[in-house]
Structure 1
Amino acid sequence: MQLFIWRHSKHFSSWSMLDEPHIHTSNYLQADVTVLASSREEAMALLEQNGQWHKEELARIEPQIISLNKAQIVISHVDGRETPTV
């Protein structure tokens, strides 16, 4: 089994990015989905069954694929906004 991770951010979208993917049915700024499956095809089928993810749009993004047979960092996220110092 593997983890398939798709991420998409619209934080910096503009009119010049009209062909940008829209991977979820909601109007989002940041969308992430992680699926445990034995293949990318199985992961896509699970997302299609869920009904909230646009399969065709997800296909435009290369997922991060994480094998579960070795120790590794699974998820890390840095937003980029600095916290104010006092």
Structure 2
Amino acid sequence: MSIETLGEAWLAGWRVKARCLGRDASTKKGTRPCLKNIDLDMETLLWTRGRDFPISLLPQRLKCPACGCRHISVMFDVPTGRKRA
């Protein structure tokens, strides 16, 4: 079974992290990478995006709160052998 939506990922117990790939605009000429990391809350994503939202589109819908960049990497933490009821 492949998991393609936020609802399916949540039911499978997945966790999600996001990382900014942009540049920190507060530095001179924006030369330092931002690299802001954050654990995203799956329940909040479900409330705001809906359970049928495709996980492949998630990076396109995020924006870094630190630098405002839209170049975001999303990583899913997949549990091994454990399912949520």
User: Is TM (by shorter chain) over 0.5?
Assistant: no
Structure with a larger share of its residues in strand: 1
Structure with a larger share of its residues in helix: 2
Normalised by the length of structure 1, the TM-score is 0.32
Normalised by the length of structure 2, the TM-score is 0.32
